[in-house]
Amino acid sequence: MKAPFFFLPIFILVSLPFLGWAQSSSLLEIRSADLLQGAKGFERLMGNVKMKHQNSLISCDSAHFFREENRAQLYGRVQITDEIDPVTTTSGYAEYDGATKIAKLRKNVVFTNQETKLYTEYLDYNREINVATYFEGGKVVDSVNVLTSEIGTYEINFERINFQQNVVLVNPDYTLKTEELIYLTIPKTAQTPGLTNLISKDGNRLDAQKGSFYDTQAKQFKFFEGLVETEKSRVKADELFYDEVKGYYEGKKDVRVLNKERKLEVFGDLGTYWEIEKYSQVNGNALVRKYFETDTLFLAADTLISRDSESDTARYLLAFHQVKLVKSDLSGRADSLVYQFSDSTIHLYNDPVLWNRASQISADSMSFFLVNENLDRVLMKNKAFAVLTDTLMNFNQMKGRRMTGYFKSGQLSKLEITGNGESLYYALEGDTLTQGINRILSATIALSFDEGVVKKSNFGVRPDGKFIPVQDLDEKWSRLEGFRWRGEEKPIRKDMDSWRKVIEIDKELKNFFEETPTIKNRIPPEEGLEREWVY
């Protein structure tokens, strides 16, 4: 029965002297307590303590009130509630300074702002500027994300939190790690200025070397020096945008798209990629590397379009303008190109030329087929022309409406001409001496070669042939109409590097998921701060 007896006088004693003070915006106001005891330099408030400072309502189990200094030490079930802003803090201990409006909260601190909650052991809350800072590890939880770091600053007026050191963001779709992150709690967006690594729930990796922007609700990403790697693809760019919902990528500067299933990598200045459709388009000094087991095909063009699909006929690579290609056993150029993945067929259009060791072939259009990564055959349509150099560097020549070439061990070994066939080949003696030229006209012609030298020939019905001895040879007899040796146009690997020098991805780059976090003590000096948090 003693508690009620003491409560009424104490309530009156502690309330009346502060009626005048309550009108001042800088002084703490004691509202109530079960027991008031005087002590040297301060007053003890015990049991159901309630205080107020401006818009802040304060409650705790007990408190030491330093009247002259206008501050209080708060013990046990501390709660500070803002009457205007939807902010509430709870802790095991706190110190509140009425002059500076700074609350130092310790032990089991929970800072609540609407649906956002911050958990820590050390929090300084400046009510003057509405900023809360934690020092020795903290966790922020809202309806979408959980963020943790060693230190953090929460700017309530801007709904902005700056996380630093060992930052981790976790939501149902991704886990992100970095060293610094700015999080806006209302739109739920995260921005990082430096190295950032993410892993999705499906195991996809998203990395940024120079910062990122992440809209956690719209699931949109923007990475600087970014890379996204999935089980089937890898996309990289200096500036990379990724919309996870649409499965859409957009890259600027040093764009590269790798199709792991097709072993095909596309490079360029600007690029887009639709993940679901497996469709990509790259512009600006575009380059392709098609990887084989023992070889690589390089292809350069102004524009590249790649499409993969469940349907065989919808798997292709298109190249437009200034097309050049280089492989160990061939080189070529054309205005446009189509590569069919289904049967490893490459179609060249608009004045295509193909070089294979000692041979040069051209036509209005041509298609060549790869079998087991090697040249198997080539089909030439309209104005087909083939030139082969023999051991003496003579130009053996064949032309016709249609021509099919067959390769053996990576070298042209047989030609079949259909329609208006013409052939001009040198007769050699012992592969060291030219005897003369055989010129033959026939509707169909078949020639077999070895190191560019004709070894066998077959002609259709009633061929028209002529042999010109070496002493009678002149330019007229040694050239078929339309002959043009274009060896100076033949692209080589060096031309591919000049077109676009590829900087290989560094596989040893730092990744926070592969490192142990470094913990640093960030608690600021707190002279005079009470260390015993239980009164």
Candidates 125, 157, 161, 132; CA nearest to 145 is 161
pLDDT confidence of residue 25: 56
Q: Does position 250 have pLDDT exceeding 60, yes or no?
A: yes
Mean pLDDT for all residues in the chain: 87
pLDDT confidence of residue 283: 93
Candidates 392, 411, 415, 403; CA nearest to 364 is 403
pLDDT tens, 361-385? 999 999 988 888 788 899 999 999 9
CA distance 108 to 94: 11
User: What would the mean pLDDT of 346-361 be, rounded to a whole number?
Assistant: 89
Q: Does position 275 have pLDDT exceeding 80, yes or no?
A: yes
Evaluate whether the domain defined by 230-343+491-518 bears CATH number 1.20.1600.10: no
CATH number of 351-485: 2.60.450
Q: Does position 531 have pLDDT exceeding 60, yes or no?
A: no
Token output for 499: 């077109």
CATH topology of domain 46-131: lipopolysaccharide transport protein A fold (2.60.450)
pLDDT confidence of residue 3: 38
Of 38-47, 206-215, 496-505, the range with the highest mean pLDDT is 206-215
Confidence of residue 10 (pLDDT cuts 50, 70, 90): very low
CA distance 264 to 421: 38
pLDDT tens, 54-109? 989 999 999 999 988 999 999 999 999 999 889 999 999 999 999 999 999 999 99
pLDDT confidence of residue 525: 56
**Residue 119 CB contacts under 8 Å (≥ 6 apart), including other chains:** 109, 110, 111, 138, 139, 140, 141
Residue ranges covered by each domain of the chain: 46-131, 137-228, 230-343+491-518, 351-485
Tell me the CA end-to-end span of the chain in Å, nearest whole number. 24
pLDDT confidence of residue 126: 95
Q: Which residue has the tokens 């294979």?
A: 356
Would you list the DSSP string of 191-222?
A: EESS-EEEEETTS-EEEESS-EEEETTTTEEE
Q: Tell me if 280 sits within 8 A of 306, measured CB to CB.
A: yes
Confidence of residue 477 (pLDDT cuts 50, 70, 90): confident
User: CA–CA distance from 398 to each of 79, 117, 437 (Å)?
Assistant: 95, 81, 13
CA distance 2 to 215: 59
pLDDT confidence of residue 277: 85
Confidence of residue 400 (pLDDT cuts 50, 70, 90): very high
Looking at residue 26, the DSSP 8-state letter turns out to be S
Q: Does position 148 have pLDDT exceeding 90, yes or no?
A: yes
Work out whether the CA dihedral 225, 318, 316, 361 comes out positive or negative. Answer: negative
Q: Tell me if 400 sits within 8 A of 431, measured CB to CB.
A: no
**Residue 210, phi then psi, degrees to nearest 5:** -125, 35
| Matching fold, domains 46-131 and 230-343+491-518 | yes
Residue of 93 and 307 predicted with greater confidence: 93
pLDDT confidence of residue 312: 66
pLDDT confidence of residue 518: 67
pLDDT confidence of residue 452: 63
Q: Does position 13 have pLDDT exceeding 60, yes or no?
A: no
Q: Does position 527 have pLDDT exceeding 80, yes or no?
A: no
Token output for 24: 């001042």
Confidence of residue 413 (pLDDT cuts 50, 70, 90): confident
At residue 228's C-alpha, the angle toward residues 149 and 299, to 5°, is 155
Q: Does position 318 have pLDDT exceeding 90, yes or no?
A: yes
At residue 403's C-alpha, the angle toward residues 301 and 357, to 5°, is 60
- Describe the chain by its helix, strand, coil percentages, rounded to 5: 10, 60, 30
Q: Does position 430 have pLDDT exceeding 80, yes or no?
A: no
H/E stretch holding 296: strand 296-307
